[in-house]
Structures are given as C-alpha cells and as structure tokens.
Amino acid sequence: MDYFALFGISESLTVDAVSLKKKYYDLSRSFHPDLHTGQPEELQKQMMQMTTEANAAYKILGDKWKRTEYLLHKQGLLNDNASLPSAFLADMMDLNEQLADLQFEPNETKAAQLKQEVGKLIANSDNELHSVSQQFDHADDAESQSLLPTLKNLHLKSKYLLRLKASVDTFAT
C-alpha cells in the first residue's frame, strides 16, 4: 500500500503535520471497526487491516527520518547492500575509538564530550536533511531523482549516528 496515496498527499519529504493529523483522524473514523459491526465479516477484517495500515502510515509519514526511509524504499534505493561512504566511516573511526576507550575506562567528562560531539553531528544531519528535503520537494522529476543518492547517504549516516548515540548514552550514564 502506498502511504502517500492512502493519505491523499503527494510524495514529498516535508508534510504539513496539522493536515496529516486531520487526515489520520478522518481515516481512523472511516475505517474504525465499530462502524462496521453489522457488515459481513470479510469487510470487518478489511476495515481492521485498513486501520492497521493507517496507523503505520501515520507513524511513518509523521517522522522525517522514517518518511525519508519509506521514500527511499519505494524508489528501491535501500537494500541489504546499502553502505556508508568510506569518507564518513573514516571520520567515525575516531568517535568509535573514543567509545571503546570509555567501555574500558569510564570517564564522565570524556563521555559528556563524546555525547556532545555526536549530538552536534546529528543536529548537522537534521539540518542537512531539512535543506535537501526542501530542494527535493521543489524540484522537477529529474532534479528530485538526482537528489535521491544524497538522501540515501543522509539516511544511512543518520541511522549510524543514532546507533552511535545510543551506545554513547549507555556509557555516559
């Protein structure tokens, strides 16, 4: 099921949160199983499935990173072989070494510094996604297609950074 089509919105990386929420409530009401209790069992099952789909779609379309991942999956750009650029991984090597040091020698000051550094990288990634999203949403088809590899790299970097943050959080407490 195409979540953008379900919500009646165009494929984009930015959505109007208020409109999305209103459409979600409208869909939830129209698919709600209680409204179909007197209907045949098959229709009731179908409405239950549509409620599940609407819930999943709302969670995905309402989150910028999940929405990006969904769009990239739709375009066939995320698969098991998706990999990070080697330059990014080289940059992350130092942070991973700092994290490994914290595992063996806990140090609150170093943990706080590492947490702050990773937080800045995540904020930069968020800002970059916002910028590229604006370009993507205002581009013609050819331009938006040319931005997909950039979006893919941003997505993969973000996932990596969020995992790194979770690891840092574990040792920073």
CATH 1.20.58 in the chain: give the residue spans. 86-172
- CB-side exposure of 118: number of CA atoms within 13 Å? 27
Taking alpha carbons only, the member of 164, 145, 6, 148 closest to residue 68 is: 148
pTM: 0.81
Instruction: Please provide the average confidence, as pLDDT, over all residues in the chain.
Output: 91
Write the pLDDT tens digit of every residue in 55-66: 999 999 999 999
Q: What is the pLDDT of residues 78-121, one digit of tens each?
A: 876 778 888 899 989 999 999 999 989 999 999 999 999 999 99
The closest of 90, 75, 62 to 151, measured between CA atoms, is 75
CATH 1.10.287.110 positions along the chain are: 3-62
Which CATH architecture does the domain made up of 3-62 adopt? Orthogonal Bundle (1.10)
Q: Class of 86-172 per CATH? A: mainly alpha
Amino acid letter, 150: T
Q: Is 34 exposed, middle or buried (0-12, 13-18, 19+ CB in 10 A)?
A: exposed
Contact predicate 61/7, CB 8 Å? yes
- DSSP for 105-157, written as a single string: S--HHHHHHHHHHHHHHHHHHHHHHHHHHHHHHHS-HHHHHHHHHHHHHHHHH
Distance CA(151)–CA(72), nearest Å, equals 8
